Each structure stands twice: as structure tokens, then as C-alpha cells.
Structure 1
Amino acid sequence: MLDQVPALLAGERRVAAKMITLIENDGPEKQEVLKALHPHTGNAYIIGITGSPGAGKSSLTDQIISALRKRGKKVGVVAVDPTSPFTGGAILGDRIRMNDHYNDKGVFIRSMGTRGSLGGLARSTKEVLKVLDAFGCDFILVETVGVGQSELEIMTAADTTVVVLTPGAGDSIQAIKAGIMEIADVFAVNKADLEGADRVVTEVEVMLDLSQRSRSGGSQTWRPPVVRTVAMRSAGIEDLLDAILAHRNHLEASGQLNEERKNRVKLELSEIIEHHIKDLIRNKVVKSGLWDKLLEQVLERTIDPHSAAIDIVDKGLVRQE
């Protein structure tokens, strides 16, 4: 796949699909491919779409795609679906809802199963975003799995996070409980033609009035707008997109966009280091028999778990000459 990197940069869809599959399956060339793509990333603007199941995230995503295409933007979509703990399969229903865009060469849609990962994203989501970034997408939409209080991981991947609420389901109160108020850059009250939409808008506005949070720093703060939408009728979509772009302009003008991306790189680097350290320790300590030896000692109460862990780390990180 490494020899196909130029084709990806030239916009070859088949190559993009193959590279994403390689990354999802943790293929042998994965690290080399990501290394080659890295200099060509950092250009796409990433929008996270999160909220509870049934809120209409897929329908809204579909409408945002259309609005961005009308403005001549190339769009990538990563739709994360839950993986069954019994069969290991995923429904991948978002492909059905966004079917109208599959013949559009300016849109690339990929559904991913969580494969047991928590936090609303699949384990390899962030790496897939790099492929779509290098592929030349102007915007990448990430629709999370929709599992309520574990949705917070999206803020480590998206530049702008849209939280979708609906009337009649207690979503606004649940969002407050879940801490989603803290990650939302824009609120979309979808199905706003239903009874109770005004109450949801009022509740969120009141909470925003009471909240003194600021994600943007400096003297200017960003107050998340609350936008009413009816995705099934394409109502409010342009207003929602305008709110997203207004947030982008705010981040760029305040310098916070670069700062937040820098923080995400720090987090990514830390996660990669931890992953490699775990592999190093596991491979070295388990093969040496030290793991089983210390495990028995802990069970026999001749050594405590904390001391055993320190011993494993110390010996695991010492490279043999």
C-alpha cells in the first residue's frame, strides 16, 4: 500500500478505501502508510456530530453533507456504529441513510464498527481521519455511535462538536447530567417541529446563561448557539452550518484552533507512547516468565500488586544488549 500513497493524494477513491481497511485491520504496512501521509495532513476541518440514539444524527449529517457540497466543498464522513458483543458485526445503517451521496465523487463515506471501543468512536477513528485529510477532504464529519454519557471522546478528535438534542425524550437534562454541555460548541435541537422543542431550547439557553465556561480562552468567549432543525424537511440546516462555520472563524481569530490541535497532538503522542510501552513490557516480561512468577507471588501474598507492577515496569523497560 505504501506505493499507492501518491494515488491517494491524487484523490483515488479506491485507494482511500483500501488504506482505511488496512488501518482498521491493523495491517502490516499501517505505520509506514501513516508516516508517509503525515506531512499531507492538518488541512481538513473536523466536525463531530454526537447525541443520543434516535436524535437524528445521521439525517442531520446527510443534510450537512448536502449543504457543504452546495458550497463546493469536498466532504469525508466517518460514521461509527455499535459492534455486537455477540456476533462481532455492526449494523452500519448510516450507509443506507446517506445513500444519495454515494455517486458523488466529492463525498467519501465510511462506516466503522466500534469493535468494543468505548467513548463513542472506534479505536482507529483518528487514524482514518488522517487518511481522509490527506485524501483532500475540506471537511470531515464524524458521527459518533450515540451511547449517551460515553460520547466525550469526540472532543479529542473534532474541531467543532455539534450535540444533537430532541424534544420529548429528556435529552437536554440528560446532556447536562452527562457533561455534554462542556463539549458542545453548537447545539442542534432536531425534530424542532415536535411539541416540546421550545422547552428544550429554553432549558439549554438557561443552562448556558448559568454556565461560565469558556473553551476559547482570552478575553472573548464562545457561547454555543442553539439551532432548531428538522432534518427530514431540510429545515434549519443552513443556519446550523453557519453556526459551525462561525465557531471555526472564532477559533481561528482567537488562535485557539492551533492551540486545541496542539493539545490533541500531545494527547495522541501520549497514547502512542503508552501503547508502545505496554507492548514492550508485555512482549518482554511475559516471554521471560517474570509475569507468571510475580503473579504467583502476589497470590501467595509474598509481594503486593503495586510492588509487582513496579518490578514489571522496571524490568520491561530495560533493553537487553
Structure 2
Amino acid sequence: MQDVSSLVDQAREGRPRAVARLISLVEGASPQLREVMAALAPLTGNAYVVGLTGSPGVGKSTSTSALVTAYRKQGKRVGVLAVDPSSPFSGGALLGDRVRMSEHASDPGVYIRSMATRGHLGGLARSAPQAIRVLDAAGCDVVLVETVGVGQSEVEIAAQADTSVVLLAPGMGDGIQAAKAGILEIGDVYVVNKADRDGADATARELNHMLGLGEARRPGDWRPPIVKTVASRAEGVDEVVEALEKHRAWMEEHGVLTERRRARAAREVESIAMTALRERIGDLHGDRRLDALAERIVAGELDPYRAADELVAGITKG
């Protein structure tokens, strides 16, 4: 068993092994997880969480790496959660994103962690909220969360980030796909990457048009900017950082940042509670209470909804 308080102290000092161990405890749903979260709670709330999402091939990893460089030039500590598809063999992350960001591997001010989705839909790993909390407590000023790139199910990032960045690229039909995916509803900043390719201006215009067709905005509401970049050459990246800082300032001014974080915490609590309930229900298979309810349904004495109410009441009282 690890000494959690010692691990937390080491993580605060920026020791990558301690951060790695804490995230491993989170991913593995360790029996020490509650102790870890209790120790981290007073240390969180300082990191700015930026989510990057978009279809495969738009350059998310390259853009993330370029943002890391830009933030490091400002002297900020940066954490990166690169959510990879799960290996069908081991269930672990395929680590592609980490390989592409290897230029930052020797920088003590950068922590990069690949996480596997483990079959969880929405483009994120189930344990991502707790991993973000670890990086926050470890002193990261900015946490960049790069989603797996699964296309139309990636809207979950909006629930986990302070600011969501949606990346598109010309020639991929992304504009139309974005409308289908509902991805236009989650972006706070839009980035047309690979802007040196033909069609970049057209993609930006189409995106601007579709944003204009969205919900009517009141004076003072945030209008998502569209930034063109060539991330592989770091072109336009400073403009992305500027857009992110403007969005953060707007959220702080209008109380949106606090509200988003409150909603995020509420969803996290709900998820933990639902997981606990599912585990308790799973333990009932073969239990006499469940069999008895099933018999009453078959006999016509009880409907499934009433049976479910009785089951939930019995579990929560127990």
C-alpha cells in the first residue's frame, strides 16, 4: 500500500513518478482512491482545463503539442491527458499521442499521460475527471485533454473542460459532419487546422455560417471565434492561446467558469453514485430478493416498474 500523503506531497513538488502513481491508482479504481481524492480536494481548483476534440486526422496531437510549447513559453506548468483508443488485446492505451508529443518528454514542466477509453463512449476515459483532479492538485496551471477522435460521440469533452476547442481541417467534410454531430453546440473556440491546404478559407466560411444559424445570442454572450492554424509549423497557435485566454476572462467576468465547474462536480458525484448503485445491483444476481420479485411479475402480481421501485428501496435502505 502506498503512503498517499507522501505521494501527494511528491506530486506537488512536480515529481512525475508520484503523479503517475496517483493517476494509476485512479485508473485502477484502487481501494485507496477515496483517500487519494480526500487528500487532493483542498489542492484543486486552480488549473485551467482545455478540451480538444475533432475527427481523426485533423491534427489534435500536433495542435496539443504546439499549445504545450506556447504555454511553456509563458512559464506555465502543463498537464496533458491524451485519451487513446483501448488496445483490443491489453485494454491499455495505444500511446500514439504520447509518441507524437515526445519533444516535451524531457521537460519537467510538462506531464503527459495517455489514458485508455476502455470501451467508454464519448471520447474520454471514465476516470478522466479524477485524473484531471490529480494534475490540478500537482500544480499544473493548464490541463489539456485531448479526446480519442471518434467523431460523433465526442461531445462529452464539453462536460469535463472549462473551455472546449473543436478542431476541423479542410477537405475532410468536417463542416457538414460537425453539424450532424452536434459538435457546433460544444465549441467555445474553433480551429481550422492545416490552413495551408486548399479549402481552408471555405471551411472557415462554412463554419462561420453554421455558427450564425445557431441559437440567437444576446449582447454580451460569447461568440466562438474561428482561428486558422498550421500546427505543424506553430502558425496561428499564439492566436489560439489568445482566444482561450479571452474565453477564460469572459467566463470569469460572467460567472460562467464557476457554474461550469459546479456542474462538472455534480456530474462527477452522480457518476460515482450511479457506479456504486450498479455494483450493488450487480451483487443481487442470484439473490433471493430479485428472484422473488421476478416470480411476482411472472405471476401477474406486480409490474416491472413497481418491482424496480421495491428493489431500489431495498438497496438504498441497506
TM-score by length of 1: 0.93
Shift of 1:7: 1.8
Residue identity in the other structure for 1:315: G
Equivalent in the alignment of 2:206: 203
Q: Is the 8 A contact 1:51 1:164 kept in 2?
A: yes
- Structure 1 alignment gaps of length 5 or more: none
Equivalent in the alignment of 1:278: 278
* Range 304-313 or range 198-207, more displaced: 304-313
Distance 1:180 1:80 in 2: 18
Distance 1:206 1:155 in 2: 22
SS at match of 2:153: helix
Distance of aligned partners of 1:68 and 1:269 in 2 relative to their CA distance in 1, 3 Å threshold: same
Q: Is the 8 A contact 1:47 1:161 kept in 2?
A: yes
Distance 1:92 1:219 in 2: 44
Q: How does 1:98-177 map to 2 (within 5 A)?
A: 98-177=101-180
Equivalent in the alignment of 1:252: 252
Instruction: Kindly tell me the number of residue pairs found equivalent between the two proteins.
Output: 315
Q: Identity over aligned residues, as a percent? A: 49
Equivalent in the alignment of 1:23: 26
Shift of 1:287: 6.7
Shift of 1:268: 1.8
Q: Is the 8 A contact 1:163 1:187 kept in 2?
A: yes
Q: Is the 8 A contact 1:281 1:317 kept in 2?
A: no
TM-score by length of 2: 0.94
Residue identity in the other structure for 1:43: N
Distance 2:111 2:90 in 1: 27
Residue identity in the other structure for 1:120: G
- Confirm whether residue 183 of structure 1 aligns to residue 186 of structure 2: yes
Distance 1:158 1:129 in 2: 9
Equivalent in the alignment of 1:75: 78
Residue identity in the other structure for 2:311: I
SS at match of 1:122: coil
RMSD (CA atoms): 1.8
Equivalent in the alignment of 2:5: 3
Residue identity in the other structure for 1:36: A
Distance 1:255 1:21 in 2: 34
Equivalent in the alignment of 2:316: 317
- From 167, 191, 195, the equivalent of 1:192 is 195
SS at match of 1:149: coil
Equivalent in the alignment of 2:68: 65
Shift of 1:219: 4.7
* Range 140-149 or range 286-295, more displaced: 286-295
Residue identity in the other structure for 1:245: E
Q: Is the 8 A contact 1:85 1:116 kept in 2?
A: no
- Structure 2 alignment gaps of length 5 or more: none
